[in-house]
């Protein structure tokens, strides 16, 4: 059908005056088609009297052409309408669109507005306006229904300038009056300047939001890591407490078993005595029976004096005392212990809960102070400088014997360690370093943490941190502190000092390692710094990293060297 081969994009079935589907279409001599009412209204206007031209190609006709309906075109348009044909949405006049001031029969969409005429024009009437005022300074702007707002209310002139002094739009006449001598620029220049400032502000705001989002994501990871470290430490302490209770339980059981063995031994000794006496009585009874069978009365009287049958009661063991000890005294003592322990745990748990809540309040206060510091552009994340500053973040670290290599030997209550020629008798443990003379601390660290160690000896030491999942079994680099991606270490010897990470070594040439080394971890900032500790803090090396989980202080101790944790 014809309707199937029509191209709507060519707009050949729309009137160029009203921009809608042709109604009673007529074709003028130049070949263009219009609605009958639209073209007659166009030619009947006062401005068009005596001039009969095509609104599209501007071809003039004289005399005025006779108009008659284009039957074929009308039938095609009717078929299109019956088939559901609609004008594309961009050609439909909307309520919020600015209407043409010149259109009389059907108001169409205006495309431009004139600030001199204070009228808006559609495409066809805009061409008429341009022809009429060609060469004259009529200022055209995008179609607007608020043309009065673009004129100066005092001088009725176009607001072409912007007074930066008073921050308002003005006309040229205003600059000769009350805005005389003010800083004024064209509205184009001012628009460009303000647009640039707004775009820059927008970019800054977006960047701030991105930075804030990044910071919050990091805070979430930081909270998870810190919580993981605290939970792990609490599990370690509670496990130690449980082991202590189990040990005490074993000792109590052994005491009860000891009482049992003593009582049983006493009863068994009495039983053996009774058995011996019973044997003697049976022997005497047998002799009596034999003597009773003799007919020699004199012999009987002489021999019967040697037979003895003592009648005495057997002293039985006192089981009441043992029963009372086991079921009365011990049970009561254990019940008292349980009640005392429950009371102590309840008090301590309340105290721990109070500390957790106080830490939460302190954290909120610190967060508020940090926010205030950010708003005032002051640094709230400055690093400590003096030893007193570092000691604010001091952490008491403890060596973990379950991770120690068999050739390491502890002293000073497991706070010191050295390497021996002979292995120690440590129990098997999958967390133990099998080849390298290394040991880790018990608790993982996240946040701001500071600790110190002292070392001595010609064998040298390595002082660093590692992730908990660093390999322990074997002699490869994946098990050596500082020689893999999961660990960082400072290697100290009497003659040299270097920092190791992922098999990359940084030699420290400015100074030698002192006997006391301080380590400062800023988990959130992703930094690990090592210092020579004396009257002043001398930075040996500082590394930037992205820590993905809590880190554990770790040490390697060479043969002939010792390392000791410092208590402050």
368 in a structural domain = no
Instruction: Please indicate, yes or no, whether residues 558 and 412 belong to a single structural domain of this protein.
Output: yes
Burial category of 435 from C-beta neighbours within 10 Å (exposed 0-12, middle 13-18, buried 19 and up):
middle
Q: What is the pLDDT of residue 402?
A: 94
| Phi and psi at residue 401, to the nearest 5° | -60, -25
Dist. CA 442–CA 397, nearest whole Å:
7
- Per the CB < 8 A criterion, the answer to whether 447 and 471 are in contact is no
Q: Which residues pair with 544 in a beta bridge?
A: 527
5 in a structural domain = no
CA distances from 191 to 245, 250, 496, 526 (A): 79, 87, 65, 44
Regions of the chain short of the pLDDT cut 50:
1-10, 46, 89-95, 366, 373-380
What is the tally of structural domains in the chain? 4
DSSP at 215: H
User: How far is the first Cα of the chain from the last one, in angstroms, to the nearest whole number?
Assistant: 98
Instruction: Please indicate, yes or no, whether residues 262 and 289 belong to a single structural domain of this protein.
Output: yes
CATH of residue 146's domain is 3.30.160.60
Instruction: Please indicate, yes or no, whether residues 301 and 443 belong to a single structural domain of this protein.
Output: no
Domain that holds residue 144: 112-188
Instruction: Please indicate, yes or no, whether residues 484 and 397 belong to a single structural domain of this protein.
Output: yes
Instruction: Please indicate, yes or no, whether residues 122 and 242 belong to a single structural domain of this protein.
Output: no
pLDDT digits (tens, 9 = 90+) for 168-209: 999 888 888 888 889 999 888 898 999 999 999 988 888 988
Q: What is the pLDDT of residue 121?
A: 86
272 in a structural domain = yes
Instruction: Please indicate, yes or no, whether residues 129 and 161 belong to a single structural domain of this protein.
Output: yes
Instruction: Choose one of 188, 218, 239: the last residue of a domain.
Output: 188
Instruction: Please indicate, yes or no, whether residues 462 and 527 belong to a single structural domain of this protein.
Output: yes
Q: What is the pLDDT of residue 521?
A: 94
Instruction: Please indicate, yes or no, whether residues 447 and 473 belong to a single structural domain of this protein.
Output: yes
Instruction: Please indicate, yes or no, whether residues 457 and 433 belong to a single structural domain of this protein.
Output: yes
CATH of residue 70's domain is 3.30.40.10
Instruction: Please indicate, yes or no, whether residues 396 and 505 belong to a single structural domain of this protein.
Output: yes
Angle at 283 between CA 282 and CA 286, to 5 degrees: 85
Dist. CA 477–CA 482, nearest whole Å:
9
Dist. CA 112–CA 131, nearest whole Å:
15
- Per the CB < 8 A criterion, the answer to whether 58 and 25 are in contact is no
The model carries a pTM of 0.46
Dihedral sign from CA coordinates of 74, 80, 81, 86: negative
Instruction: Please indicate, yes or no, whether residues 174 and 206 belong to a single structural domain of this protein.
Output: no
């Amino acid at each position: 059908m014809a309707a199937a081969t029509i191209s709507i994009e060519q707009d050949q079935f729309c009137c160029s005056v009203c921009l809608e589907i042709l109604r009673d279409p007529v074709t003028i001599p130049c070949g263009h088609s219009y609605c009958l009412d639209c073209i007659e209204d166009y030619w009947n206007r006062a401005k068009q009297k005596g001039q009969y031209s095509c609104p599209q190609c501007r071809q003039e006709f004289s005399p005025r052409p006779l108009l008659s309906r284009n039957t074929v075109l009308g039938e095609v348009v009717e078929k299109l309408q019956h088939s559901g044909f609609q004008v594309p949405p961009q050609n439909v006049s909307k309520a919020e669109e600015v209407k043409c001031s010149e259109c009389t029969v059907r108001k169409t969409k205006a495309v431009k507005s004139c600030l001199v005429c204070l009228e808006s024009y559609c495409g066809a009437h805009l061409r008429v306006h341009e022809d009429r005022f060609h060469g004259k300074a009529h200022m055209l702007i995008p179609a607007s229904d608020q043309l009065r707002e673009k004129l100066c209310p005092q001088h009725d002139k176009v607001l072409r300038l912007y007074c930066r002094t008073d921050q308002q739009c003005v006309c040229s006449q205003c600059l000769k009056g009350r805005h005389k001598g003010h800083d004024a620029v064209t509205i184009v220049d001012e628009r460009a300047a303000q647009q640039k400032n707004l775009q820059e502000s927008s970019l800054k705001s977006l960047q701030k939001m991105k930075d804030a989002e990044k910071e919050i994501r990091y805070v979430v990871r930081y909270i998870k890591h810190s919580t993981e470290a605290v939970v792990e430490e609490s599990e370690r302490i509670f496990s130690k407490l449980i082991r202590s209770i189990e040990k005490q339980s074993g000792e109590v059981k052994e005491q009860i078993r000891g009482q049992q063995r003593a009582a049983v031994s006493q009863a068994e000794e009495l039983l053996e005595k009774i058995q011996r006496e019973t044997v003697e009585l049976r022997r005497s009874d047998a002799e009596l029976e034999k003597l009773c069978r003799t007919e020699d009365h004199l012999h009987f009287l002489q021999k019967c004096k040697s037979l003895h049958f003592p009648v005495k009661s057997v002293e039985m063991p006192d089981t009441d005392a043992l029963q009372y000890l086991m079921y009365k005294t011990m049970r009561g003592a254990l019940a008292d212990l349980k009640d005392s322990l429950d009371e102590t745990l309840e008090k301590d748990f309340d105290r721990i809960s109070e500390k957790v809540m106080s830490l939460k309040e302190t954290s909120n206060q610190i967060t508020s102070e940090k926010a205030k510091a950010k708003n005032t552009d002051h640094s709230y994340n400055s690093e400590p400088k003096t030893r007193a500053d570092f000691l604010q973040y001091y952490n008491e670290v403890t060596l973990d014997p379950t991770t120690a290599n068999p050739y390491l030997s502890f002293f000073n209550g497991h706070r010191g360690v050295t390497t021996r020629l002979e292995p120690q008798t440590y129990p098997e443990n999958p967390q133990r370093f099998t080849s390298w003379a290394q040991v880790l601390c018990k608790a993982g660290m996240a946040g701001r943490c500071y600790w110190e160690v002292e070392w001595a000896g010609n064998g040298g030491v390595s002082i660093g941190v590692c992730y908990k999942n660093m390999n322990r079994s074997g002699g490869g680099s994946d098990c050596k502190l500082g020689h893999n991606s999961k660990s960082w270490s400072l290697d100290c010897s009497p003659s040299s000092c270097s920092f190791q990470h992922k098999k990359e070594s940084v030699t420290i040439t400015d100074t030698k390692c002192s006997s006391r080394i301080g380590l400062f971890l800023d988990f959130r900032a992703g930094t690990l710094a090592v210092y020579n500790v004396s009257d002043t803090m001398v930075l040996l090396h500082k590394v930037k990293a992205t820590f993905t989980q809590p880190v554990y202080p770790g040490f390697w101790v060479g043969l002939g060297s010792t390392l000791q944790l410092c208590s402050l």
